[in-house]
Every structure is written in C-alpha cells, then in structure tokens.
Structure 1
Amino acid sequence: MHSAVIDRWAFRLGDERGASAKGFDDAAWRRVRVPHDWSVEQPFAEEHSSGTGYLPGGIGWYRAHVPFTAAPGQHVRLVFHGVYRDAEVWVNGYHLGARPSGFARFSFDLTEIASYAPDDDLVIAVRVSRLETADSRWFNGTGLNRRVELEVHEPVHLREHGTVVTTERADVAEAVVRVVQRIANDTDAAVVVAVRHELRSLSTDRSHAFEAEVTVPARTEAIAVAVVTIADPELWTDTDPRLHRLTSTLSWTTDGAAQRAEYTEIVGIRTIRFDPDHGFSVNGERRVLRGVCLHDDGGPFGTAVPADVWLRRLLTLREMGANAVRMAHNPHSPELYALCDVLGLFVIDEAFDEWENPKNKWWQGHNVYPPKHDGPAREFPEWHERDLTAMVEAHRNHPSVIAWSIGNEVDYPNDPYAHPLFQESVGNNDAGKPAAERVYDPNRPDIRRLTTIAKRLGAIVRAADPTRPVTLAAAFPELSSRTGLLDDLDLVGYNYREARYAEDHARFPDKPFVGSETSHRYVDWLAVVRNEWVAGQFLWTGVDFLGETTLWPNHGSRAGLLTIAGFPKPGYHLRRSWWAEEPVAHVVLRPAGEDGDLREGRAVRGWNGRDPLQVLAFANGDEVELRWGDERIPLERDEEHGWWSAVATPRAEPLVLEIRRDGRTVARDEVRTAGPAERVEATAWRAPEHVASAVRAAGLPLDELLQVEVRLVDGAGEPAGDDRLVAVAVEGGELLGIESGDLADPTPYPSTERRTRDGRLIVFVRPAGSTAITLRAEGLDEVLIRDDSARFAG
C-alpha cells in the first residue's frame, strides 16, 4: 500500500460557481498548505460569536491537482481526517458526497473514477461551509484543518481500518497478541492469501514473526486471524511506553504471478482494567489517572495544529506529572493520538457534545441570554452511527486509548432535557441564568430519552471494539442516575460531582467511577487520593483555548494550566507539587490579601515595590524552608489550597525556597527583585533528542518548526516587570504566528507584531534553508536569530 499526503492546495475564501469542475481555472487562487484553518487568518470581531472566539466562518473552496498513475485493478482511496465543517467533495468533476461532521474521519473510493483517465491528474475540489459561527460552545476553526491522504492499494488489500490488534493477556513474563484482518479481493477469481506478520519493538529491535492463511472468494472479503505468544514482552505503560511496529505482508498468486502487499501499524502490548473497587490498572498494575481535558486548537494555528506544537505542550504537561488526556469533546487530529502513544499518556476518546437536541450556544458572552441553537445535533439522527464508528475504528489500535466516551454533559439540566423529578435544576455553570431557565418545563425534551440513545451508542461502540469500556461525562447525575442514563455504562464519568462519589458508589457498586471533568481545587484531588475506587480525574483544562469566553475583547478560556502560548501558569507549578514524583519547589508572589484563581491571575515571580506580598510556596518535601536574605520566613500550611504561605515585606536580597529530605536539599527555587526590561532573550525550543527520535520511529514526522520562546529580562537577566510590543521579521522562512497567551488581546493572528504578556511570547516559524528571525522590542536592542542556533540573546 502506498499513501501520499496531499498538503498543497489552491484556496479561495468565498463561494465560487463552477469550482467543482475538473477544468476550472484556479490559477489566481491563493496557495495554502493543508492542514489549514482560515478562521484564524481573519480579524477578531465582536459581531461574531463569543462561544467560538469572535472569529468568522463562511464558505471556502479548496482544489488540489495530484499527479497520478494507477495500474489496472488497483484500489484507490481518498481519506480526510476531518474537515470543519459541512464538506462536499468532487474528484475530476464527479460529486462523491458530503460529510457534515467537522470531526469525523471519512473517505471515498476513487477506483472507478481513476480508471477513466489512469495517466491524468486527479483534480480534487472541496467546498467547506460554516455560515453560522455560533455552531459550537468553543472554537473549532473552519477549513481543511486535518490531514488529507491518497492511498493506492493492490487488488487484494486490507479493508479500511481492516487491522485490529488486541492484547488478550499480558504480564512481565508473557503476553498473547491477536491480530484480526479483513482482506478484500477485487479480482474475478478466488485467491489464497498468506499473511506474514512481524511485530518489531521500536525500543530494542526485538521481533516476533507469526502467520495466517485465508481463502478470499472473488469480489468479496474474508477474515484472517493470527495469534502470537511472546515471552518477556516489552509492555506499553505510561511510565515506559514501549511501542511496536506491526508489518503485515499479504502474498497471493494471480494468473501464475506472485503478488504481495505490505501494511504497517504502530501498536502497543498492554492490558487495561477499570475495577469498581480498585480503580484503573494497566498490565495488572494500579494507576491513578492524573488527567487533563484538551480542546484541539493552538492559538495562531487555529485547529490546524502542527505535531511539533502539540509535542511541546504535551511534554510540558508530562513534566507536571500528567499521565492522561481527555479529548474534549470530539475526536481530535490523528497526530495527537500518536503523540500520546509515544509519550505514555492514557486517553479517553470522546465522540459527541450533544445528541438529538442542541445545547445553548453563547454568542454574546457566556450565559448571556438568549442563546442560539445551531450545531451538530442537526445531523446526529442521520450520522451518529457512522461518526461514532469512524472514531472507534480509527483509534482502536492506539494503546493510549483506554475508554470511549459517547457524550459530554448531555444531561445538563434544562439544556435541553428535563424531568418532573426535579422541579428546580441547578448545574455547575448556571451563574446568571434567569430563574425560568432553572425550573421544570414540561415542554422540554424528557431526559429519559437519553437512556435510549446511550444504549444505542454503547452497542455501536461495542460492535467496533468490545475491549474498552463505554463511558460518558455526566453533568447532573442527581437526576440522570435516577432515570437510567448510567445503567448501560461500563465506566461512570462525573463532571464536578465529587460530593456524590461515596453515595453513588454505594448505589452502583458494580460501576467504576472517574472524574471525567473536575475543577483544580485541592479537595477534588483529595477525593481521588482518598478513594481507591475512583480511577482518577481530568482537569478542566490542561491548556487555554479559543472560544467559550466572556465579553469582548476576551476571545478564549483561561481555564488551562498552560496559557495558549504553552507557558506554565502558577497553577501548573502547584499541580506539579501534587502530581510529580520528583521533589518540587516553586515560589509565587502576589499582593497581600489577594485570593484569586491561579489560572486567571497574574501572579508574579519578582517584585519592584515595598508593599507586603503574599508568598505561596508549592512544595512536596518533608522539610520546607523559606528565607528572604538571612531571615527565615515562617510558613503556614494551607490545607484548603494545598500550599504553604506567608506574608512578608520585600527586601533587596533573593527569596529562597528549599526542600529537604533527610537533612539534604533536594529542590530549590530562588526569586529576585524584578527590574525594567533591558534586553530580549530568545530560546528555540526543541524536544529532547530521545523523544524526537521516538516520535519519528513511530512514523510521525515532525515539521521541524522553530518555536522561539521570547522573554524580556532586566539587567541581571531576571524576568522583567513590564511588557513591550515585539515586532518579528523573517527572512528565508515563513512566519506562522505569534502568541503571547493574552486572550484579551484582539491583535489579528497574521500580524507581525504582538505585545508580550508577563514579559513573554512565542514565535512560530517554518524554516526554509538559511532562516533569519529579527525581534524588535520597543526601546530595546533587536535580536537576530538563525535557525542553526539553540539560544540567542541581544
């Protein structure tokens, strides 16, 4: 099988009569590289929906001319890994069909069309339509925002998603792996297909060979099953994610001539279990899921996020101690799952945010009435089975995926479902709602309907993959648990309902529980630590994201532990002191008396005045000592927030936090007074070589983007206490975007300048040959960066 990525396209924003025709002249159209999101190329504007980040949608066309030569009988397939949204596709002028979902992987069989002109280009035309920007509760972008591929197969080939790899049992001594394949025969004669598998470790190069054989009748398909027993297996876990490459070689004879086809799949050997009394385990060893929820945008990239950018984010979260991700609230890009495989991040994969009936879509500020009600509910009745099956089939060979979520907060009270059991219903996000929106209304859909749908969705999932549990993220189990919504689930997910864990564990003793979405409070983490039967928690969120915002000019959510630029917030370091195994010492300063969310506030590292400061010490050691110069500052343990704190008057000397174990210093943090910015420092972020090598070995090519982290420093090299406008110029490469993390800054993403936030921003550049990047900050000397350097300063 040969697969080619189609990444060069002609693009036009706006509708175009006749653009589907093969001979249409697109020479004047703009050339773009796919994945591509046109929404983030446009200005932010208050006229658009707050829920989707005050960015526009519209109609756009893409056209690609693909040189192509097909041998007689070859099977040709065009694959889209997701288009947001309402895509219509033509090839050589033939209308192949449409896909309303913005997240589903879909494909078209081009075998017949390609045979009409076997030595001619394939001309692919795609029309994308997103006329209503209030079509989601968060930003999803617009366009060909995921990879597009052209696959060419032999006449005898694997069906799409035709390989299923499962680990029947595994421990350190022995593992049993089963490979089931659906083999199609497009010829007019039956063939005997011999299948030879090689399972090769990407870590040690150890390999295991095993075989199968099957007769495939003409113009139909058959199932080939092979099982291998492996001694001393290299298992995939979160702490040591060993991956294997499965190479399957199909051999057969046609008219006396030997034929073959080869397929590869990256897999992991592992077993998982959710136990109602002992939580989650992998390969028989208990793990606590220390998870974060993620939306799939990346600041200036919109939802067309390069793997390099996700790698930087995920590694930063991994260093915090995270070992799990919930894909909120839709299937994500294929690169993200592959990275989770490599990095050892467990994944809860999620299909839908709404089912038959639409949720409220806030378009003029969060919880500002009236809402709008466009969105994916309109295609759910017709498309839910195909979309859900597509998610499971596409991702079931990823060892990182541990559960299938069929919905997020579909039971949110009065949004839109209700029931007379609760005459008044208050959800976790109801601040500011009119009273009429919180009382029972018999004209709303009955919540019992959700139980019927959940059973249907669960059956669809289990038909495609019976090895992982079916779950959903329940918002109002006070009601939905009494109307049957949880009954068919294999794993119960609760959003912000830790207070119900004990009661509902007793009510459903055969059900495992997980905090599918939780706040960042210490008490919510203790609800996991103190209850072995709770599998873990997934924080809302790991990274800030576009959309789901308040009033203009705010255009994103600050719920993350990382800013949208990928920089850690103070709450990141606090979480690290709870989750990380290694010793942690980190100091945060803020004005005395301030008591705000560490994800929202602008807590500082340095100081420049004499007013008393609150000192927050994040530490996980046995002995914690804080000193300001020679003076020891007494610390008090705050059990409500999970940190140590003190109030002190600043002085010129450094503030030092030390963690000791057995009398030995094991972690240390030092903060110095902050002065005005005097120069710019820039560091080109690169993944550790062993990580980059593992990513490439898993078949995921990195774009090798330059991700240049920029910060303003004072004369002593300490982070500066002010912000400046930074202009960026690139020679010999392409400036892809600048991000500061300030979600109240409506500077358009295509701009070549942006103001820092907390003295920092990041610049994304695609290098080409010899690339030079010039940074000019107001009142400071410019900095010149070349792509062959690792650190730059001016």
Structure 2
Amino acid sequence: MRENFDANWSFVKGDPSGADAVKFDHSGWRQLDLPHDWSIEGPFEEKNVSKARGGYLPNGTGWYRKSFKLPANTAGKKVFIEFDGIYMNGEVWINGHRLGKRPYGYIGVEYDLTPHLKLDGENVLAVCVDNELQPSSRWYSGCGIYRHVWMTFTDKLHVAHWGTQISTPKISDANAEVLVKTTVKNAHAKTKAVSLTQKILDASGKQVATATKELELAAGKELVIDQSLQISKPALWSPKSPNLYTVRTELRDGKVLTDSYDSPLGVRTVVFDSKRGMLLNGESVIMKGVCNHHDLGPLGAAMWERALERRLIMLKEMGCNAIRTAHNPPAPELLDLCNRLGFLVVNETFDEWRRGWFFEKSTKTLVSSKDNKGKSKYGYNLHFDEWAKKDLIDHYRRDRNHPCVIMWSVGNEVPEAQKYGELETVKMLRDLSHKHDPTRLMTVGCNFIQGANKSGFTELMDIVGYNGGGGSCFEYEADHAKYPNRLMYASEVPHTLQTRGEYRTFGKFRERQHQPAHMTKKEVFADTSPWYESSYDNAGVRITARDSWRLTKNLPYFTGEFRWTGFDYIGESGGWPRVIGNFGIIDICNFPKDTYYFYQSQWTEKPMVHLLPHWNIPAKEGTVVPVWCYTSGDSVELFLNGKSLGVKKFTKEMDMHLEWMVPYAPGELKAVASKNGKVVATTFRRTAGPVAKFTAEADQTKLNLQQRDLSFITVNMVDEKGNFCPKADRWVSFEVTGPGRVLATGNGDPISHESFQAVSVKAFNGKALAIIQPTGEEGEIVVKAFWTTRRWGKPMAEIKLTVESDR
C-alpha cells in the first residue's frame, strides 16, 4: 500500500534548537500541506543573498514536523517514507532517531521507518531543510519539501524500491519481447517459497501477456529475477501516438499475495544514425525540444501536477515533442505526463561536477580556472565526490522504465572535461550509465565544443550535445565533416530573449560578433525599458531562433534541438531589478510570446497566422515599422485599414517569416494566410483606445478534488469596443467565496517585485493571472474580479467554478 503523505504538516522558518526531538512543542508552527516552497513567499529584496541567480528571493533553514498514528494492521509489516524532493540538505528523523541526510535537492530518497516506529500511539517525523549557504544553484531552486511525500507499507517479502527494470530487446510488427528484471527482498527470518507473476495490461486494462516464475528465497536475501513476455501486434509508443501498457508485478508467499507493483511500459525503437539522424519506430523524427527549469512561475518550485500538465499541453500545441530536464532530475510526475502526452525526454542528472566557469571582466568572456571550485560556491560541487555515484544510480533506477526517456545526460558544460581533459570522471559516469541502463545513450551538454574535441571528451559520449556557448552552435557542419560517425544534437540552442509585448528594431545580442542587423535607421520603440527584451527575433546571445531551426531541419544527420527555454523562469535574471530569466517562448504566467507562434508555424501543420508587433504606437504616425508574420501557409496578404499592402511568399532568403515595412497609421492590420491558393487563417492587430474594462476567462471551470486541480484565470485589459490594450497596466483584485482561495497571482513582468501570494495584481502589457485552488470541499467557488486594489462596488467580471469529487 502506497499512501500520499502530504497533508497536515507543521512548518517553521528558522532553526529552533531541539526540533528533532519527539517532545518538542511545535504547536505554534504554521499548518500546511505539501508540496511546499517557502522561498516563493518572498519578499523580493535586492539584499537577499540568493541574488540574481535565485531571483532575489529569500533562502535559509526551515523545519517540518508531522505526528501520525499507524493503521491497526501494521504489525509485521515494513514501513517506508519516500520524499520525491527536498531542497536542499534534507535531514530526516523519526521518533528522535536520525535516518539520514541527502544533500542533493533534486533526487528522491526512501528511508525504512520500521525499526523506530510505535505501533500504538503517536509517531513524529521531523525534517530539517538547510538552504542557508548561497549561492547553491545557478537558478531559482526554491526551499522546502517541494515535491510529494509517500508512505509505503509492505510485507517483509516485497519488491525492492525502484526494483523493476523493463526493456524491449526485440520488436517487430508481429511481436514485442518484454524483458522484466525484478529485485525481490525477503526480510523474513526464514526461507520463502516465492511466486513472481508479471502481467502486461493494455490501455483498456486487458491482459495481453503473463509469465510466472517460482523459486525459493533465503532469509535476509534479495534476488534479481528475469522474466520474458511477448506482446502480439504491439501498439507502439511515439509522440504522435503515445500508446502505453502497464507491467503489473505480483509477488506471492506461496499463494498469499504480498506485493503488487505497477510500472509503465511503452514499446518503441530508438535508433540514432550519424547520417540519417534519429529513427523512432523506423521513421525519421527531429527532436523539436525545449529546456526547462523546474519552477512553475508564481507557484515556485512546489509541485502542482495540473500546472505542469497545462504547460506541457501548451508546448504540445506549439509542436514541441521533446524536453530536456535542465539541469537536474525532474519530478516523477513530469515523466508520467511525458509518457501520456508524448514527449521525448533527455533526462539530465547534474549541472556541475567539481569545477565551474566564471566571467572574465577584462576579456568579457566566460572562462574556467583550476582555482574556481564549482559553478555555485555552495552547490553540488561540494558533494560530488561523496554522492555522485549514488545520485546517478538512484536517478536511473527511478526513471529507467519510462518510455519517454531516450537519453541520459550526466552533465552540462563541465570545464574539467572540456577544458582540462580530466576524463576519469566522464569515464566513470559513462560506465555507470552503460551498466545500469545499457538500452539508452549517454550524453553531456557541451559549450566550447572545440575544447571538448581537443581534450577527447566528445569521444567518450554516445551522442554529443552541442550547447551554444563558445560558438558551438556554428560548428555542426565542420564537426560532421571531421567526425563523420559522431551522433549530434543541439542540447541547448538557441538562447534568445523576449519580453512579452515589448519590441526593439535595433538588434541586441550578448555576443556582439553575432549581432543581428538593425531593422530601421532609428529605433522605433525607443521607450522600451533596458530591462526588457525585444519580441522580434533580434535579441539573444549568439544565434536567432530562425537561423538555429534552419540549421537543425536542413542537416539530415542532426537529430534535433532543445532551445533555451520553453518558459521564463525565476532567477538567472541578469541583475536587480530584474528577477526573471527572459529566455522563454512563454512567460512565467503561461502567456505565449510572439516566438511561440514562430515555432508553431514551423513545428506544426496547424493552419495559423500571427502578426507582430502590436499596433498601439502613439506619436509615431508615418514612422516605418517592421511588421512580421509567422504562418504555416505559403503566402500572406497584409491589409492596413482595408488597403492591401501586398502579398508575400516565402523565399530562399526569407523562409522563416514574412516582413513588410509599414508606415504607421492607427487602425487595423489584417493578415490573410493562404496555402495552395486557399485561405487558411486570418488575424488582426487593432489600435486600442483607453482601457475601459477587462475580461476574465478560466482555463477550466470544473475542478477535481482528488487531482489537486487548479483553475488559471486570465485577465485581459480592453477598450470600450473590446479591443485588447497591449500596454495597459491597471490593477485587478480578486475576491473568492466558497471552497476555494487565490493560490497565486502574477503578470509576467520580469521587474515586478509584487508578491505572488497577493490577491491583487497589476496587469503587465495588458494581462494578469490568478490561480485558484479548491480548499478541500465540494461546492461552488465564485471568483469576482474588481478594477482596483480596494474591493468595493460591482465586480468587472465574475466566474463560477464547480468543485467535485470522483469518490
């Protein structure tokens, strides 16, 4: 039996003496449910030691405690507690007995509670979370028990933790061989007659294969048991058709069922070829991927499955088919969702080993030094020698059965191997990868690829990941000619920057040698804040989104790209007052930027057309404005106030977007896209008048209690005619009645320092967000949105949500 153990914890921020003791009085602590991230509660302050890397949010030490009683039938059972993630230095006690400490905040850990439990009376779990020393990460980490907690009750004869390993060594249209290796433990004091049955169930629950093996297992021993099964006419898993099976492991002591354990199964073949790229189930597939950090914007690092699912669905609708878990093991729920929704995953374990890079001010370049210990002063480099093997093996054991996982990445931009040729570490990690999962390739994301080639580092990988740093994104063709048998993909390219709704006609790239040409003689959008980035594809680091994708799709040996990033994220902000990294295709409130529609035009066949920029440019009448269009059509006609400005078609020189240079005049821009002579999509940009009202829309109005559901309510500022006001910044306040509450608010502004926990939010470029959470009961939630921070008078919008239980 595996039970969720998230409810009814006590929490305090600080480090009270004796908080691990059973009789410690925690009655005055805050009561909450997990997952929990206290850092996101703020406040944002320039003095916070997390600085730009951590988004200027607070860190520190915190304690969690929970009292509980065991079920009546626990005697003779084994009881385990599993934490999916504690950031960081999670130290755990049960009834005053210290169970252990895990420094790495991104990998789960299980402890055996059995020897220290009271079968009758209260038991007390205590957890200390220490994220005091900063910086401990290069991005926002969050603080706390930020993923789920589980309590597992088993017989003394049971399947070991993460104890199944499933592979499909032979697949044809007629049959798929499924090999299952199961680690069984016998904690009884005597030998047991063991019966192990594997059942394969299809998506409807129908049994399609079974196998049983019987044997004796000595007291106190564990054994790995191999079984082979056959699936007739298997339904294959792919991003387009994510067909899933379940492997159900049933363990018996004689005829008595002692354990039942489900594992995911997807039947698919993945072949990487140095000439043809990636072949999935025999078909050529390009990875259209994004890198993502783990935070969920206004929700911080705390795991909310609905928020994560919503993000993945948005990416899917954009045409994305792949995720790189930059740069750490993800929450288990991410892989469950990727299995179900159909994403290929590069599953990454480490961002750093022992050394790091630093910025050399005199040369304005990123360099490494033998004296520079780690990318973060108090990061994983302090724990690598002691914990790397354990963390890597646990990561593989936890995730190795997910069909979405196609690669293991054991590092990201590691200077000791790339620059100094210290290859023993990569050899060790490679050997562990091949031992614990020989079915998948091992990789590392490399910047400064020339150094990695020279050191011999690239020859020790199964497939080489090209990050953009050091101009690596310009080396694909030369490296393919020099190393024709090398498998290659863009692990972190491109790095482009956009702030939703902001524009510049002058290019702005961090590496000036790759600076794009200015689009106009004078800057049209001269009032754009220096802390905001242009939503034309003319701001970034070294290569545009268009140039990067052109390379990826036109090089047949290249297996795909993972752009940095799918979503804006907290931290890596570039300095106060900015607290958010602006690399995302979508902002932290899940509002798409213009670049989203570029990828949709290239990565899907969906009929679509998108125009930029907005068409509210006061006092610019007659000024020539570049108007860009992204479309999946083959031609577009543009109209200004009903007058045609001509039809544009894609050419060899302009194959990713269409452009018109339009003298600005208020009114209506309309784009009509055609394909093969037939109109397929139309869009508008209209000049809006003063803000007169706003509209509010919920992404879903029926919420499920058992699924920890959320409703995302988007507010749009509009004029009297209902036209969207792209620069509006009015305040909106929310009032909730019924069994619900405002969980978080946000606006996507990278320099906003408003609390995500506030019930009022200032719109940024015409939009604001409120996230509503049910509070635990069925019924109707009424959300009223008011115009001001003072909630009085008639609400501007009202939305009703229904909370239901499936029990």
TM bin (shorter chain): 0.7 to 0.9
Trace 1:277-316 onto structure 2 (pairs within 5 A).
Answer: 277-316=275-314
Structure 2 counterpart SS, 1:487: helix
Amino acid at match of 1:287: V
Name the CA distance, whole Å, in 1 between partners of 2:706 and 2:487: 38
Name the CA distance, whole Å, in 2 between partners of 1:494 and 1:274: 16
Please say if 1:785 is aligned against 2:799: yes
Name the CA distance, whole Å, in 1 between partners of 2:193 and 2:359: 55
Amino acid at match of 2:598: L
Please say if 1:754 is aligned against 2:777: no
TM-score by structure 1 length? 0.87
User: Conserved in 1, the CA contact under 8 Å of 2:622 and 2:665?
Assistant: no
Amino acid at match of 1:357: R
CA RMSD in angstroms comes to 2.6
What are the Cα deviations for residues 213-267 of structure 1, in whole angstroms up to 9, with x where unaligned? Answer: 33322210122222222122111110010112222211223xxx73432111222
Identify the residue that residue 704 of structure 1 maps to in structure 2. Answer: 709
- 1:454 alignment partner, one of 408, 412, 426: 426
Identify the residue that residue 402 of structure 1 maps to in structure 2. Answer: 406
Name the CA distance, whole Å, in 1 between partners of 2:158 and 2:612: 59
Amino acid at match of 2:782: A
Give the direction of change, closer, same or farther, for the CA distance of 1:579–1:35 in structure 2 (3 Å limit).
same
What are the Cα deviations for residues 572-609 of structure 1, in whole angstroms up to 9, with x where unaligned? Answer: 111211111222211112xxxxxxxxxxxxxx265666
Give the direction of change, closer, same or farther, for the CA distance of 1:16–1:642 in structure 2 (3 Å limit).
same
Deviation larger for 708-717 or 307-316: 708-717
Structure 2 counterpart SS, 1:181: strand
Identify the residue that residue 486 of structure 1 maps to in structure 2. Answer: 458
Q: How many residues align?
A: 727
Please say if 1:628 is aligned against 2:600: no
Structure 1 counterpart SS, 2:428: helix
Trace 1:683-694 onto structure 2 (pairs within 5 A).
Answer: 683-686=697-700
- 1:388 alignment partner, one of 392, 410, 422: 392
Name the CA distance, whole Å, in 1 between partners of 2:803 and 2:229: 48
Structure 1 counterpart SS, 2:460: coil
Per the TM alignment, residue 465 of structure 1 is displaced from its structure 2 partner at its CA by 0.9
Identify the residue that residue 731 of structure 1 maps to in structure 2. Answer: 737
Name the CA distance, whole Å, in 2 between partners of 1:480 and 1:560: 28
User: Conserved in 2, the CA contact under 8 Å of 1:679 and 1:781?
Assistant: no
Give the direction of change, closer, same or farther, for the CA distance of 1:531–1:130 in structure 2 (3 Å limit).
same
Please say if 1:554 is aligned against 2:527: no
User: Conserved in 1, the CA contact under 8 Å of 2:157 and 2:186?
Assistant: yes
Per the TM alignment, residue 522 of structure 1 is displaced from its structure 2 partner at its CA by 1.4
User: Conserved in 2, the CA contact under 8 Å of 1:608 and 1:673?
Assistant: no
What are the Cα deviations for residues 526-575 of structure 1, in whole angstroms up to 9, with x where unaligned? Answer: 21111111100000000000000122110010000000101100111112
Give the direction of change, closer, same or farther, for the CA distance of 1:750–1:208 in structure 2 (3 Å limit).
same
**Runs of 5+ unmatched residues, structure 1:** 420-446, 590-603
Name the CA distance, whole Å, in 2 between partners of 1:109 and 1:459: 29
User: Conserved in 1, the CA contact under 8 Å of 2:781 and 2:803?
Assistant: no
User: Conserved in 2, the CA contact under 8 Å of 1:83 and 1:145?
Assistant: yes
Amino acid at match of 1:753: S
Identify the residue that residue 111 of structure 1 maps to in structure 2. Answer: 114
Please say if 1:72 is aligned against 2:75: yes
User: Conserved in 2, the CA contact under 8 Å of 1:684 and 1:707?
Assistant: yes
Identify the residue that residue 440 of structure 1 maps to in structure 2. Answer: none
Name the CA distance, whole Å, in 2 between partners of 1:84 and 1:605: 45
Trace 1:194-213 onto structure 2 (pairs within 5 A).
Answer: 194-202=195-203, 205=206, 207-213=208-214
Structure 2 counterpart SS, 1:787: strand
Amino acid at match of 1:475: N
Identify the residue that residue 593 of structure 1 maps to in structure 2. Answer: none
Give the direction of change, closer, same or farther, for the CA distance of 1:259–1:290 in structure 2 (3 Å limit).
closer
User: Conserved in 2, the CA contact under 8 Å of 1:43 and 1:749?
Assistant: no
Name the CA distance, whole Å, in 2 between partners of 1:194 and 1:503: 57
Amino acid at match of 2:36: H
Per the TM alignment, residue 673 of structure 1 is displaced from its structure 2 partner at its CA by 2.4
Per the TM alignment, residue 372 of structure 1 is displaced from its structure 2 partner at its CA by 6.4
Give the direction of change, closer, same or farther, for the CA distance of 1:640–1:22 in structure 2 (3 Å limit).
farther
Name the CA distance, whole Å, in 2 between partners of 1:111 and 1:578: 55
Identify the residue that residue 432 of structure 1 maps to in structure 2. Answer: none
User: Conserved in 1, the CA contact under 8 Å of 2:570 and 2:580?
Assistant: yes
User: Conserved in 2, the CA contact under 8 Å of 1:683 and 1:710?
Assistant: yes
Please say if 1:474 is aligned against 2:446: yes
Please say if 1:81 is aligned against 2:87: no
Give the direction of change, closer, same or farther, for the CA distance of 1:753–1:367 in structure 2 (3 Å limit).
farther
**Runs of 5+ unmatched residues, structure 2:** 495-543
Per the TM alignment, residue 764 of structure 1 is displaced from its structure 2 partner at its CA by 0.9
Structure 1 counterpart SS, 2:602: helix
Name the CA distance, whole Å, in 2 between partners of 1:361 and 1:224: 52
Per the TM alignment, residue 390 of structure 1 is displaced from its structure 2 partner at its CA by 1.3
Give the direction of change, closer, same or farther, for the CA distance of 1:466–1:251 in structure 2 (3 Å limit).
same
Identify the residue that residue 511 of structure 2 maps to in structure 1. Answer: none
User: Conserved in 2, the CA contact under 8 Å of 1:200 and 1:206?
Assistant: yes
Name the CA distance, whole Å, in 2 between partners of 1:182 and 1:632: 70
Structure 1 counterpart SS, 2:455: coil
Per the TM alignment, residue 668 of structure 1 is displaced from its structure 2 partner at its CA by 1.9
- 1:272 alignment partner, one of 270, 273, 277: 270
User: Conserved in 1, the CA contact under 8 Å of 2:568 and 2:581?
Assistant: yes
Name the CA distance, whole Å, in 1 between partners of 2:121 and 2:433: 41
Name the CA distance, whole Å, in 1 between partners of 2:150 and 2:310: 25
Amino acid at match of 2:158: H
User: Conserved in 1, the CA contact under 8 Å of 2:444 and 2:465?
Assistant: yes
Identify the residue that residue 495 of structure 1 maps to in structure 2. Answer: 467
- 2:774 alignment partner, one of 767, 774, 791: 767
Structure 1 counterpart SS, 2:11: strand
Structure 2 counterpart SS, 1:482: helix
Amino acid at match of 2:802: D
User: Conserved in 2, the CA contact under 8 Å of 1:7 and 1:148?
Assistant: no
Structure 2 counterpart SS, 1:572: helix
Name the CA distance, whole Å, in 2 between partners of 1:781 and 1:701: 31
Amino acid at match of 2:80: R
Structure 1 counterpart SS, 2:475: helix
What are the Cα deviations for residues 438-497 of structure 1, in whole angstroms up to 9, with x where unaligned? Answer: xxxxxxxxx111x21101011112222111000000011111211111122111001022
User: Conserved in 2, the CA contact under 8 Å of 1:498 and 1:527?
Assistant: no
Identify the residue that residue 592 of structure 1 maps to in structure 2. Answer: none
Give the direction of change, closer, same or farther, for the CA distance of 1:103–1:711 in structure 2 (3 Å limit).
same
TM-score by structure 2 length? 0.86
Give the direction of change, closer, same or farther, for the CA distance of 1:122–1:465 in structure 2 (3 Å limit).
farther
Identify the residue that residue 537 of structure 1 maps to in structure 2. Answer: 561
User: Conserved in 1, the CA contact under 8 Å of 2:4 and 2:148?
Assistant: no
User: Conserved in 2, the CA contact under 8 Å of 1:210 and 1:228?
Assistant: yes
Per the TM alignment, residue 743 of structure 1 is displaced from its structure 2 partner at its CA by 1.3
Identify the residue that residue 377 of structure 1 maps to in structure 2. Answer: 381
Identify the residue that residue 28 of structure 1 maps to in structure 2. Answer: 28
Amino acid at match of 1:52: G
- 1:670 alignment partner, one of 672, 684, 694: 684
Per the TM alignment, residue 652 of structure 1 is displaced from its structure 2 partner at its CA by 6.1
Per the TM alignment, residue 619 of structure 1 is displaced from its structure 2 partner at its CA by 1.4
Per the TM alignment, residue 64 of structure 1 is displaced from its structure 2 partner at its CA by 1.1
User: Conserved in 2, the CA contact under 8 Å of 1:214 and 1:223?
Assistant: no
Per the TM alignment, residue 667 of structure 1 is displaced from its structure 2 partner at its CA by 1.9
User: Conserved in 2, the CA contact under 8 Å of 1:611 and 1:650?
Assistant: yes
Per the TM alignment, residue 367 of structure 1 is displaced from its structure 2 partner at its CA by 9.0
Name the CA distance, whole Å, in 2 between partners of 1:719 and 1:605: 10
User: Conserved in 2, the CA contact under 8 Å of 1:74 and 1:153?
Assistant: yes
Amino acid at match of 1:21: A
Trace 1:257-268 onto structure 2 (pairs within 5 A).
Answer: 258-268=256-266
Per the TM alignment, residue 155 of structure 1 is displaced from its structure 2 partner at its CA by 1.3
Please say if 1:642 is aligned against 2:656: yes
Amino acid at match of 2:250: T
Structure 1 counterpart SS, 2:774: strand
Give the direction of change, closer, same or farther, for the CA distance of 1:403–1:32 in structure 2 (3 Å limit).
same
Amino acid at match of 1:33: D
Structure 1 counterpart SS, 2:707: coil
Amino acid at match of 1:400: C
Amino acid at match of 1:680: F
Please say if 1:232 is aligned against 2:233: yes
Name the CA distance, whole Å, in 2 between partners of 1:493 and 1:786: 48
Deviation larger for 719-728 or 471-480: 719-728
